[in-house]
Amino acid sequence: MIKVLFFAGLAEKTGQRVVELDYCDLTVRDLKSKVIQQYPSIKQDLDGVMVAVNEEFVNADYKISSADEVAFIPPVSGG
Amino acid sequence: MTQANYNVTTAPLKIETVTSRVVHPHAGAINTFIGTVRELTKGKRTLYLEYEAYVPMAEKKLQQIGKEIQEQWPEARVAIDHRIGTLDITDIAVVIAVSTPHRADAYDASRYAIERIKEIVPIWKKEYWEDGEKWIGDQKEHVYYPTGRPEGLRDD
Please tell me the distance in Å from A22's CA to the nearest CA on chain B: 23
Residue B80 CA: distances (Å) to CA of A13, B8, B118: 31, 9, 13
Say what the ipTM of the complex is. Answer: 0.96
Distance of alpha carbon A72 from alpha carbon B15, whole angstroms: 32
Residue A30, number of CB atoms within 10 A of its CB = 15
The kind and range of the H/E element at B120 are helix B103-120
Mean pLDDT along residues B80-106: 98
**pLDDT band (50, 70, 90) for residue B42:** confident
Distance of alpha carbon A2 from alpha carbon A13, whole angstroms: 20
Contact flag A79-B51 (C-beta cutoff 8 Å): no
Q: Report the pLDDT value the prediction gives residue B140, as an integer from 0 to 100.
A: 58
**pLDDT band (50, 70, 90) for residue B55:** very high
Q: Which residues of B touch A57 (CB under 8 A)?
A: 120, 149-150, 153
Give yes or no for residue B62 having a pLDDT over 80.
yes
Computed over every residue of chain B, the mean pLDDT equals 91
Q: Report the pLDDT value the prediction gives residue B151, as an integer from 0 to 100.
A: 56
CB of B104 within 8 Å of a chain A CB? The answer is no
Nearest to B150 among A9, A47, A50 (CB): A50
pLDDT, one tens digit per residue, over A5-55 is 999 999 999 999 999 999 888 999 999 999 999 999 999 999 879 999 999
Give yes or no for residue B155 having a pLDDT over 50.
no
**pLDDT band (50, 70, 90) for residue B125:** very high
Q: Report the pLDDT value the prediction gives residue B74, as an integer from 0 to 100.
A: 97
pTM over 0.95: no
Give yes or no for residue B133 having a pLDDT over 50.
yes
